Structure 1
Amino acid sequence: MKSLLTLALLTVSNLFMTFAWYGHLQFKKLPWFSKLGIVGIVLVSWGLAFFEYVFQVPANRIGFEENGGPFSLFQLKVIQEVISLTVFTLCAVYVFKTDKLGWNHVLGFGLLVAAVYVIFRKW
């Protein structure tokens, strides 16, 4: 159960992170946001990043093995990176509609899955 909760919280966290880091690049499509200067954009992004941390910190605390969770620190980081790239890709392709998923992206994700395997394997 802790592993599923950790994964869910990391996914929600990464949704906020993606919009905080890259969503502002789409603001020009929204009339009110298109008039914001860089300070306004930074403040909006910080506001979104706050919610990233609201979900990220509990995810790591719940998931960390020294707090009774199932994951080591390295495992948490690799999981976070895979979720981050997955969420980013889905947002870029289906929400922002700025990029198309190419064979090189699929190959890269395959290598990330291999990284997860290597990190989780008990040698």
Structure 2
Amino acid sequence: MSALPPGEYAIVEVLGHRTIIGRVEEVERFGAKLMSIEAVFNGELLDAVMIGGSSIYQFTPCSAEVAEARQPKEDWQLPPSIRAVLPVAALPAPAFDPPAFMGEAVKPPPCASCGGPEPFGECECIPF
């Protein structure tokens, strides 16, 4: 059983070589029929994006379980238009993994006063 809310789910291929997996619904906006799709990411539904019917190449209905299994695992796998509106909480924390050639260069400098391991004079040798 899927943890996703009930509804109609699909794998949708859209103009621009984008594949979006999520909960879909037909809506009318501005006098035109559109597809509202709430993309699945990290086991949750994101805010809906609207897609015009003429932009759809392929529409594959699926269950919530299939949508959950096929959802993007990394944020870079989402189409740019969806990634641009991702909540900050949904983005992975940035990690700094220095390249090997940097070696010791990424270590902070020692304390200017005593040469201790605390950087930038933040050690306890300096009275405030």
Q: The TM-score by the shorter chain falls in which range?
A: under 0.3
Question: Which of the pair is proportionally richer in strand?
Answer: 2
TM-score by length of 2: 0.20
Higher helix share: 1
Larger Rg: 2
Provide the TM-score with structure 1 as the length reference: 0.20
